[in-house]
């Protein structure tokens, strides 16, 4: 039925066009009648959903006279995005809380060994935290654009909200640069450890050991962390590119391109935020001994044994090859 | 209660740009900001038509709907205005606007769009009517003086109509009836969800 | 139509109501509610919310008021075209703070175009000239007015001493008021030269000559408003949508209300053509074949107005012979327009009457300009479309006062008001000016040169650079004093540089430095160059004449700003320096060196009988401006009951016969026999004798009357044609008894020897005119219009190919006229055309190049390109090229191109505008740009801070040789070029 309706509409459209063309054709031979052959708004909108013409000012974008597509974008921004973002972020928060309540913190089963091993260098940690800080500010300032008006504005009033939003916008724009650099560095420095391999299959099959007290073997990064890596790299690239398209209007595309950019930017961003909530959870209260990896840069050997057995073995083998029995013979405390 | 609207009769518009410079003159609009512009469709072909376009002061205005800081308001005359004190220059209204009305002064470095500027239907802004502050931010407030937007008042061929929607629709309808042709009330369907049948 | 302000007020009362605002009807938010919600309102305002509503309204009224409160409205006339739009300025403390629509003007009814809506900026422009400047060793240096006038005056006197008065060229302006233009011409006369010209030369000189030679006066016969009455409007050679935008209000409303045919014949699908009901594309330069093509169909089908022709037209049979040659095949071969299309047009024009023919530069700026407009007039005569509402030759003039400046004789061929240059004319003006004729004669090199037309401005640089023996005056032109004229409007710019270099002195008096300055510097001048800052017309008062011959008085809106001076003051200062100010301003009050405009107009009134400028006293004109609202928009007449302007036509369109006391209402439509003369009626003017001896084929001759046959204006006491009135003819009719004693005495004083010879145009008492009017007669007589204008180079219009034509195959059959000496200089068009063909120019430069106006700019454009509100809208010089031609050359829309011209290895760099506006093989450029030359930006040549915002190549860098033989109008519409991607 739907296809029939579509066909009828197409046929009607063709007829209208034909009628229009015949009206524009000279009635008597040689007559050119610009009054009668005038363009019609309705017809142009039916054909293209966009009306464009010539303007003499250099700003050629102003040649777009009308583009009702803004309507769909508005629907997305005010309805779809709020639902998607709300479900993703609130859903993730609820899931995390539930998980925590059920499981509590994942402990180091064998207890701390007192021996530590270097997991992330100072540079790696710097890059991580730079990106992370930027991300948090970007996330909050970004969420403010979508959710601030219904949630925050009624609380603090127009003036304060605008003041805050203004600063948030500046922060969002300026911090995008260190964030982008961070994403680029992350993608380069951790690329080697994040190539998926066979161990990941096993890890995933065993559900990452989240349920029960299983510890599937993993290299430096387990499949879950690899997923985070790729989300950061791909998602980061996506928000960066679309973000810059919005920050420098008309360099990359016209208004319809910017609408698409905004859609991609915002959807990726809210999902990104949701994922990062999980990442933060697991790196902090979700798992004992995990935060140290990015905190001091060293982790307890027992933690490493449980979560990254293959990596620990590799590190130890390398140390042994170097002729040293204990590469990181530093007291834990 | 008057519901103010614009209507450009494309069968009268000759792209003389009086509306554009009248606007510049009345509000001292700076270089690069075009509150109003004239677009020519099918330029150079026998069906060519020019249309003067600015903010149409839409019913249920998309700009107002998407503004993250809710800086727009609709006056009792149906004129869509905004507060530059509240605007953060994010550009969202520009994505939503079907008519390319919002304009941004380029200020400072990258990313710093200034406060949005657009046609006010010569109705100023939130400040006191006819005050200096209002003039500096938004331009003249002719409506408060009982005058209509200067672009339409000065239109060379009386193509651009401004005023109560019903009255200008009636004028247009009569014109089309009398002369027997009309390319449509450009933008009305999009802005006001209605067209003028003749 | 807008809702007028009066209507608007009634519903604005309810709009502001705070009560409804608070009740939140319609979901609207009033300003205060919004403020409160937004938390922006201060404590005081927020507290108001608790007061009773009445209190709120009162507080609001007290707090807010429009910024324009207390401003004085002042009216002047827009300076940008000939429509004559009233500009209403709001002035507060001497500053022009705003512009309001001029609803009361019957001409523009509140409207403006881009230029008119932005005139306020002209006055306040940061980039205007501020003080006089002198070019010293390649540097612009500030000087005082006193120094400037003294140095310039001394140098001019020195040149005069050595080379005679004709070696100084006085180039005036159509932007001056009538009074300014008149005094500028008078200055030329007192200086002793006829080398005084202005923009009319390059705009409608061919119209003035061609049309005046047809039926008496060379002006628009009807008015913009009257076009509303036409059933068929035909626009040929004009683009009023861009050149006269406000006129389109009348044209388009007329088209709609009358369901009129709107025919546009043009090589370009212009913004005007976009509204046509019939558009005809023709090859540029083939107006005469197209017009004859139309006439061929009319005669073939018997659509001509036989009775009109019999009564009021001379030379129809001669014309028919020429038309017969232009059968549809030949017309199509030459012009490219198919016969069927012209048959449609012919039928509409001849049978769906009244029909009007509208033209502008498209017909006039041609080597055949005079013949073009003659052919247009002939079409009107053939169809009986002259002398009634909705008919006529609606000739759209260019500048705001180009009609006036033409009338007041700022010209090389005549003294004020078309009196010519013969001894009688000089004697007439010496009587008006109350100076001795012998004194005036003594100012000239000779009586012969005093009565010889001067050098056309199109040829000024040749008058400087040609060998002395080729310039028919004592010496070459050595100094140019230009007050208000662009140099980039004149063709052949590369050659003009030689003239700019060779001059001893160049004085530029203008609000802006203009391209005279930037090109003079580029030409290599190091000194002998002065710039004088002139006030814009909004800083001066005086009368201006719109295209429809209406005079409008403009008030001074603000005082001249910076050190700029009124045109009249500069003229006075020069006259004073030359030592004849007391004689020249004998009857004009001068205060602080500024001659009074009103007194100047009164002097004009006293001498302008020939054109009927005698009735428009300053008092009457001011009354018209004051009572604008009383004039009907369609008839332009005020109700007879009005005490101040009762029965008058708006602006007292000339001829407004007799002295102001006669209260002639003006003539809104020329040659309209359906009205009595005292109601604005008239007849064709018998200006070329009362009979003519014609040779018949058998060798015998016969005398044919040139007076009207059985046609006369309503209520005329003479029911047939009659010659102009003189004392002798009054005596013959027995009407001399109607003259008063004082009038008779005045007549006797004018010509004591033979008072009978004193005519209606020489009688300073106005008595002869008064008596003629009393008897319902037109003072100038009642004659026939001429299809055969014997005396002109082509008495019957003849098609002649442009000098540079792409159709070399047609030149043998339709060559341009032979070389000749005209206006003191040679016109070698024939040789140039011949050489172009021999050199194969059309193969090297295959595209026809035409030029025209943009709505945003005017003339040479320096003033408008300086206005940011306008400049923003057109930031680059461009050339229009057809997509097919662009594709052949790899040219993209918006890309840079080099345009090369057929002479002087000229080239210019600009952007391409690829568009179907132009047909294949045709390119088009706007002519307003300047400040670039051959790809070089000349911004550095302007005095610091005075350069226009937008600069660009001038179209006239590429234009070529070609001058109309009757007026030396330049050819700007048809030449050849080549375009290549840059």
Give DSSP secondary structure letters for chain B: ---EEEEE-TTT-----HHHHHHHHHHTPPTT--SSEEEEETTTSTT-EEEEE-----TT-HHHHH-TT--EEE-TTS-EEE-TTT-----HHHHH-TT---B--B-SSTT-B---B---TTB--SSPTT-HHHHHHH--B-GGGT---HHHHT-TTS-EEEEEHHHHHHHHHHHHHHHS-----TTHHHHHS-----
- pLDDT, residue C43, reads 34
CA distances from C906 to C726, C859, C954 (A): 56, 21, 11
Q: pLDDT tens digit string along C33-70? A: 444 444 333 333 333 333 333 333 333 333 445 677 78
Mean residue pLDDT across chain C:
92
CA-based nearest distance C21→chain B, Å? 7
What region does C596 belong to: left with phi over 0, alpha with psi -120 to 50, or beta? Answer: beta
For residue C870, list chain B residues with Cβ-Cβ distance below 8 A: 21
Encoded tokens for C593:
């060196």
Question: Which residues, 6+ apart, have CB-to-CB distance to A17 below 8 Å?
Answer: A43, A47
Q: pLDDT tens digit string along C844-902? A: 999 999 999 999 999 999 999 999 999 999 999 999 999 999 999 999 999 999 999 99
Whole-angstrom distance, CA of residue B60 vs CA of residue C512: 49
Q: pLDDT tens digit string along C228-242? A: 999 999 999 999 999
- pLDDT, residue A9, reads 53
**pLDDT above 90 coverage of chain B, percent:** 81
Nearest C-alpha neighbor of C660 from the set C750, C769, C505: C769
8 Å CB contact of B24 and C869:
yes
Q: Is residue A263 pLDDT above 80, yes or no?
A: yes
Confidence of residue B2 (pLDDT cuts 50, 70, 90): confident
Q: Is residue C808 pLDDT above 90, yes or no?
A: yes
Q: pLDDT tens digit string along C236-275? A: 999 999 999 999 999 999 999 999 999 999 999 999 999 9
- pLDDT, residue A271, reads 94
Q: pLDDT tens digit string along C147-165? A: 999 999 999 999 999 999 9
The answer to whether A45 touches A51, Cβ cutoff 8 Å, is: yes
Q: Whole-model pTM?
A: 0.90
- pLDDT, residue A42, reads 85
Confidence of residue B109 (pLDDT cuts 50, 70, 90): low
For residue C281, list chain A residues with Cβ-Cβ distance below 8 A: 32
Q: What is the ipTM of this complex?
A: 0.96
Q: pLDDT tens digit string along C432-468? A: 999 999 999 999 999 999 999 999 999 999 999 999 9
Residue scoring higher pLDDT (A268 or A9): A268
Confidence of residue A323 (pLDDT cuts 50, 70, 90): low
> Strands C232-236, C261-265: parallel, antiparallel or unpaired by DSSP?
parallel
Residue scoring higher pLDDT (C16 or C324): C324
The answer to whether B149 touches B162, Cβ cutoff 8 Å, is: yes
Domains of chain A from N-terminus onward: 113-331 (1.20.950.20)
- pLDDT, residue A29, reads 52
The answer to whether C298 touches C381, Cβ cutoff 8 Å, is: no
Whole-angstrom distance, CA of residue C651 vs CA of residue C547: 11
The B residues from 118 to 137 touching A (CB cutoff 8 Å) are: none
- pLDDT, residue A80, reads 93
Question: Which residues, 6+ apart, have CB-to-CB distance to C55 below 8 Å?
Answer: C48
Question: Which residues, 6+ apart, have CB-to-CB distance to A3 below 8 Å?
Answer: none
> Strands C355-359, C393-395: parallel, antiparallel or unpaired by DSSP?
parallel
Highest mean pLDDT among A17-21, C30-34, C505-509: C505-509
First to last CA, chain C: 47
Neighbours of chain C (3+ CB pairs under 8 A): A, B
- pLDDT, residue C64, reads 47
What region does C26 belong to: left with phi over 0, alpha with psi -120 to 50, or beta? Answer: left
Encoded tokens for C447:
């009586």
Whole-angstrom distance, CA of residue C902 vs CA of residue C976: 6
Q: pLDDT tens digit string along C76-124? A: 999 999 999 999 999 999 999 999 999 999 999 999 999 999 999 999 8
Q: pLDDT tens digit string along C519-543? A: 999 999 999 999 999 999 999 999 9
Q: pLDDT tens digit string along C820-831? A: 999 999 999 999
The answer to whether C774 touches C705, Cβ cutoff 8 Å, is: no
Q: Is residue A2 pLDDT above 80, yes or no?
A: no
The answer to whether B143 touches B79, Cβ cutoff 8 Å, is: yes
Q: What average pLDDT does this structure show over A40-59?
A: 86
Task: List the single best residue of C92, C114, C247, C250 to mutate versus B (max B Cβ within 10 A).
Answer: C114
SS (H, E, C) C559-601: CCCCCCECHHHHHHHHHHHHCCHHHHCCCCCEECCEECHHHHH
* Residue C323: other Cβ atoms inside 10 A: 22
- pLDDT, residue A199, reads 80
8 Å CB contact of C115 and B21:
yes
8 Å CB contact of A36 and C277:
yes
- Name the least confident of A110-124, A169-183, C617-631, C732-746: A110-124
C448 burial (CB, 10 Å; 0-12 / 13-18 / 19+) is exposed
For residue C113, list chain B residues with Cβ-Cβ distance below 8 A: 16-18, 156
Encoded tokens for C324:
């017969």
Encoded tokens for C360:
């502008």
Residue B99 Cα to chain centre, angstroms? 9
Encoded tokens for C779:
């003072």
Q: What average pLDDT does this structure show over C9-22?
A: 34
Whole-angstrom distance, CA of residue C704 vs CA of residue B132: 76
- pLDDT, residue C933, reads 96
- DSSP one-letter code for A79: I
Nearest C-alpha neighbor of C209 from the set C626, C686, C792, C753: C792
Residue scoring higher pLDDT (C23 or C720): C720
Confidence of residue A306 (pLDDT cuts 50, 70, 90): confident
Residues written for chain A: 333
* Residue B38: other Cβ atoms inside 10 A: 31
- pLDDT, residue C542, reads 97
The answer to whether A137 touches A172, Cβ cutoff 8 Å, is: yes
Q: Is residue C330 pLDDT above 90, yes or no?
A: yes
8 Å CB contact of B148 and C3:
yes
Q: Is residue C288 pLDDT above 60, yes or no?
A: yes
The answer to whether A51 touches A66, Cβ cutoff 8 Å, is: yes
Whole-angstrom distance, CA of residue C180 vs CA of residue C313: 38
**Taking CA C917 as the corner, what is the angle to CA C913 and CA C919, rounded to the nearest 5 degrees?**
105
**pLDDT above 90 coverage of chain A, percent:** 40
Whole-angstrom distance, CA of residue C722 vs CA of residue C373: 27
Q: pLDDT tens digit string along B18-52? A: 999 999 999 999 998 999 999 999 999 999 999 99
Neighbours of chain B (3+ CB pairs under 8 A): A, C
The B residues from 31 to 70 touching A (CB cutoff 8 Å) are: 32, 34, 37-43, 46-51, 53, 62, 65-70
- pLDDT, residue B107, reads 63
Q: Is residue C20 pLDDT above 60, yes or no?
A: no
- pLDDT, residue C445, reads 96
Encoded tokens for A107:
């402990």
The answer to whether B4 touches B164, Cβ cutoff 8 Å, is: yes
Residues β-bridged to residue C268:
C918
Encoded tokens for C798:
């003849």
- Name the least confident of A277-286, B75-84, C200-209, C281-290: A277-286
Owner of token pair 């391109």: A257
For residue A248, list chain B residues with Cβ-Cβ distance below 8 A: 110-111
Encoded tokens for A309:
């057995």
Give DSSP secondary structure letters for C901-959: ESSTT-EEEEEEEE-TTBPTTEEEEES---EEETTEE-GGGSPTT-S-S--EE-GGGT-
Confidence of residue B108 (pLDDT cuts 50, 70, 90): low
CA-based nearest distance C112→chain B, Å? 5
Owner of token pair 């449509």: B184
Residues β-bridged to residue C529:
C506
- pLDDT, residue C219, reads 95
Q: What average pLDDT does this structure show over A156-174?
A: 92
Confidence of residue A211 (pLDDT cuts 50, 70, 90): low
Closest-CA residue in chain B for C35?
Answer: B126
Residue scoring higher pLDDT (B56 or A210): B56
* Residue A83: other Cβ atoms inside 10 A: 9
First to last CA, chain A: 74
Encoded tokens for C366:
């041609």
Q: What average pLDDT does this structure show over C698-717?
A: 94
8 Å CB contact of B130 and C60:
no
Nearest C-alpha neighbor of C477 from the set C161, C827, C165: C165
Q: Is residue C574 pLDDT above 90, yes or no?
A: yes
The answer to whether C848 touches C492, Cβ cutoff 8 Å, is: no
* Residue C26: other Cβ atoms inside 10 A: 14
- pLDDT, residue B70, reads 93
- pLDDT, residue A322, reads 72
Helix, strand, coil % over all residues of chain A, rounded to 5 = 70, 5, 25
The answer to whether C169 touches C504, Cβ cutoff 8 Å, is: no
Q: pLDDT tens digit string along A188-198? A: 988 888 888 88
Whole-angstrom distance, CA of residue A214 vs CA of residue A209: 5
What region does A92 belong to: left with phi over 0, alpha with psi -120 to 50, or beta? Answer: alpha
8 Å CB contact of C256 and B178:
yes
Residues β-bridged to residue C359:
C395
Is A262 near chain B, with CB under 8 Å?
A: yes
Q: Is residue C2 pLDDT above 50, yes or no?
A: no
């Amino acid at each position: 039925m739907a296809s029939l309706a579509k066909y009828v509409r197409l046929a009607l459209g063709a007829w209208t066009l034909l009628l229009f063309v015949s009206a524009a054709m000279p009635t008597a031979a040689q007559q050119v009648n610009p009054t009668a052959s005038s363009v019609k708004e309705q017809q142009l909108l039916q054909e293209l959903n966009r009306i464009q013409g010539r303007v003499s000012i250099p700003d050629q974008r102003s040649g777009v006279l009308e583009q009702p597509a803004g309507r769909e974008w508005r629907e997305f921004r005010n309805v779809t995005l709020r639902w998607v973002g709300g479900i993703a972020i609130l859903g993730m928060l609820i899931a995390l809380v539930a998980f925590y309540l059920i499981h509590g913190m994942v402990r180091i089963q064998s207890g701390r060994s007192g021996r530590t091993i270097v997991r992330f260098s100072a540079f790696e940690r710097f890059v991580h935290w730079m990106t992370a800080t930027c991300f948090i500010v970007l996330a909050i300032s970004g969420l403010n654009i979508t959710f601030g008006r219904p949630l925050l504005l009624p609380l603090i009033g127009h003036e304060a909200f605008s003041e805050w939003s203004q600063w948030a916008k500046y922060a969002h724009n300026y911090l995008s640069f260190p964030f982008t650099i961070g994403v680029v560095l992350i993608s380069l420095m951790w690329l080697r450890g994040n190539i998926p391999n066979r161990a990941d299959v096993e890890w995933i099959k065993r559900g990452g050991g989240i349920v029960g007290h299983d510890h599937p073997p993993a290299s430096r990064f387990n499949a879950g962390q690899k997923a985070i890596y790729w989300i950061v790299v791909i998602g980061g690239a996506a928000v960066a590119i679309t973000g810059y398209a919005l920050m420098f209007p008309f360099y990359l595309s016209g208004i319809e391109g910017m609408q698409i950019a905004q859609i991609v930017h915002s959807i990726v961003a809210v999902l990104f935020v949701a994922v990062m909530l999980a990442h933060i959870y697991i790196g902090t209260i979700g798992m004992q001994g995990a935060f140290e990896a990015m905190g001091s840069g060293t982790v307890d050997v027992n933690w490493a044994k449980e979560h990254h057995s293959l990596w620990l073995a590799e590190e130890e083998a390398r140390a042994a090859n170097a002729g040293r029995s204990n590469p990181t013979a530093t007291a834990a405390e | 209660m008057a519901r103010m609207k614009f209507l450009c009769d494309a069968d009268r518009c000759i792209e003389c740009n009086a509306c554009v410079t009248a606007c510049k003159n009345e509000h001292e609009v700076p270089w690069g900001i075009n509150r109003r512009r004239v677009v020519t469709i099918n330029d150079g072909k026998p069906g060519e038509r020019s249309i003067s376009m600015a903010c149409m002061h839409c019913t249920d205005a998309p700009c107002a709907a998407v503004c993250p800081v809710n800086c727009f308001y609709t006056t009792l005359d149906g004129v869509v205005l905004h507060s530059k004190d509240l605007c953060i220059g994010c550009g969202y209204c520009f994505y939503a606007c079907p008519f390319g009305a919002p304009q941004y002064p380029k200020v400072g470095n990258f990313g710093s769009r200034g406060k949005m500027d657009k046609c006010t239907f010569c109705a100023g802004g939130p400040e006191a009517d006819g005050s200096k502050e209002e003039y500096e931010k938004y331009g003249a407030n002719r409506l408060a003086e009982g005058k209509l937007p200067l672009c339409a008042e000065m239109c060379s061929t009386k193509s651009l109509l401004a005023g109560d929607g019903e009255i200008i629709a009636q004028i247009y309808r009569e014109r089309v009836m009398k002369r027997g042709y009309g390319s449509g009330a450009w933008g009305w369907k999009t802005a006001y969800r209605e067209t003028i049948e003749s | 139509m807008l809702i007028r302000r009066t209507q608007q007020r009634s519903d604005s009362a309810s709009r502001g109501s705070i009560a409804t605002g608070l009740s939140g009807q319609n979901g609207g938010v009033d300003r205060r509610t919004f403020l409160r919600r937004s938390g922006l309102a201060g404590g005081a305002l927020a507290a108001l919310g608790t007061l009773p509503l009445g209190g709120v309204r009162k507080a609001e009224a007290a707090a807010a008021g429009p910024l324009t409160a207390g401003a004085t409205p002042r009216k002047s006339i827009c300076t940008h075209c000939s429509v004559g739009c009233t500009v209403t300025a709001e002035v507060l403390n001497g500053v022009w703070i705003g512009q309001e629509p001029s609803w009361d003007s019957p001409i523009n009814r509140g409207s403006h175009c881009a230029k008119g809506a932005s005139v306020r900026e002209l006055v306040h422009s940061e980039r205007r000239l501020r003080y006089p400047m002198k070019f010293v060793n390649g540097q612009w240096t500030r000087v005082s007015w006193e120094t400037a006038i003294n140095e310039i005056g001394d140098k001019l006197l020195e040149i005069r001493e050595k080379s005679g008065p004709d070696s100084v060229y006085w180039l005036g302006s159509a932007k001056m008021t009538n009074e300014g233009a008149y005094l500028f011409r008078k200055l030329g006369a007192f200086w002793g030269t006829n080398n005084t010209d202005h923009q009319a030369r390059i705009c409608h000189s061919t119209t003035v000559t061609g049309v005046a030679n047809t039926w008496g006066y060379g002006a628009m016969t009807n008015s913009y408003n009257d076009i509303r009455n036409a059933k068929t409007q035909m626009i040929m050679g004009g683009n009023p949508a861009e050149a006269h935008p406000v006129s389109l209000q009348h044209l388009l409303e007329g088209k709609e209300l009358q369901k009129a045919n709107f025919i546009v014949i043009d090589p370009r699908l212009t913004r005007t053509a976009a509204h046509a009901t019939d558009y005809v594309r023709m090859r540029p330069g083939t107006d005469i074949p197209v017009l004859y093509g139309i006439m061929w169909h009319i005669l073939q089908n018997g659509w001509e107005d036989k009775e009109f022709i019999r009564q009021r037209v001379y030379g129809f049979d001669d014309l028919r012979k020429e038309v017969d040659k232009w059968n549809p095949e030949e017309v199509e071969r030459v012009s490219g327009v198919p016969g069927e299309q012209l048959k449609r047009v012919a039928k509409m024009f001849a049978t769906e009457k009244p029909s009007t023919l509208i033209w502008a530069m498209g017909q006039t700026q041609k080597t055949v300009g005079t013949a073009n407009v003659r052919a247009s007039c002939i079409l009107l005569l053939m169809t009986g479309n002259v002398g009634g509402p909705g008919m006529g030759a609606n000739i759209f003039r260019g500048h705001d006062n180009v009609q006036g400046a033409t009338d007041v004789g700022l010209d090389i061929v005549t003294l004020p008001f078309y009196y010519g240059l013969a001894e009688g004319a000089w004697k007439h003006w010496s009587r008006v000016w109350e100076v001795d004729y012998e004194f005036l004669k003594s100012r000239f090199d000779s009586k012969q040169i005093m009565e010889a037309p001067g050098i056309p401005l199109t040829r000024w640089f040749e008058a400087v650079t040609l060998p002395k023996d080729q310039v028919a005056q004592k010496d070459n032109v050595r100094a140019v004093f230009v007050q208000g004229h662009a140099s980039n409007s004149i063709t052949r710019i590369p050659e003009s540089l030689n003239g700019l270099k060779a001059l001893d002195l160049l004085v530029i008096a203008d609000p802006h430095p203009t391209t005279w300055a930037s090109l003079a510097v580029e030409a290599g001048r190091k000194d002998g160059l002065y710039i004088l800052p002139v006030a814009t017309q909004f800083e001066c008062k005086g009368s201006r004449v719109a295209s429809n011959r209406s005079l409008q008085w403009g008030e001074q809106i603000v005082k001249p700003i910076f050190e700029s001076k009124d045109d009249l003051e500069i003229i006075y200062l020069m006259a004073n320096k030359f030592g004849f100010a007391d004689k020249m301003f004998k009857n004009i009050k001068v205060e602080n060196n500024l001659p009074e405009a009103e007194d100047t107009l009164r002097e004009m009134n006293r001498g302008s009988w020939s054109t009927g400028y005698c009735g428009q006293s300053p008092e009457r004109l001011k009354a018209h401006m004051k009572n604008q609202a009383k004039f009907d928009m369609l008839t332009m007449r005020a109700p007879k009951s009005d005490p101040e302007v009762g029965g008058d036509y708006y602006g007292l369109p000339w001829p407004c016969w007799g002295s102001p006391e006669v209260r002639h209402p003006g003539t809104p439509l020329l040659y309209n026999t359906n009205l009595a003369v005292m109601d604005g009626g008239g007849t064709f003017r018998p200006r070329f004798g009362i009979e003519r001896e014609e040779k018949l084929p058998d060798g015998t001759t016969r005398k044919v009357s040139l007076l009207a046959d059985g046609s006369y204006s309503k209520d005329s006491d003479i029911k047939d044609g009659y010659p102009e009135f003189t004392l002798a003819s009054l005596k013959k009719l027995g009407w001399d008894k109607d003259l008063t004693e004082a009038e008779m005495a005045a007549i006797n004083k004018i010509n004591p020897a033979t008072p009978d010879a004193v005519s209606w145009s020489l009688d300073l008492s106005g008595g002869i005119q008064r008596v003629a009017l009393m008897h319902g007669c037109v003072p100038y007589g009642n004659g026939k219009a001429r299809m055969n204008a014997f005396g002109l180079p082509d008495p019957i219009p003849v098609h002649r190919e442009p000098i540079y034509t792409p159709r070399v195959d047609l030149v043998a059959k339709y060559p341009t006229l032979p070389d000749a000496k005209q206006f003191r200089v040679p016109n070698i068009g024939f040789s140039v055309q011949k050489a172009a063909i021999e050199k194969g120019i059309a193969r090297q430069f295959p595209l026809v190049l035409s030029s025209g106006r943009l709505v945003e700019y005017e003339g040479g454009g320096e003033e408008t390109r300086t206005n940011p509100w306008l400049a923003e809208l057109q930031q680059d010089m461009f050339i229009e090229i057809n997509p097919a031609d662009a594709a052949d050359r790899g040219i993209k829309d918006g890309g840079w191109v080099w345009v090369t011209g057929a002479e002087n290895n000229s080239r210019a760099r600009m952007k391409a505008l690829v568009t179907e506006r132009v047909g294949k093989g045709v390119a088009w450029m706007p002519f307003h740009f300047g400040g670039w030359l051959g790809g070089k930006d000349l911004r550095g040549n302007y005095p610091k801070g005075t350069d226009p915002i937008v600069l660009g190549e001038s179209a006239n860098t590429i234009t070529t040789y070609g001058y109309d033989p009757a007026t030396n109008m330049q050819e700007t519409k048809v030449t050849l070029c080549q375009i290549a991607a840059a």
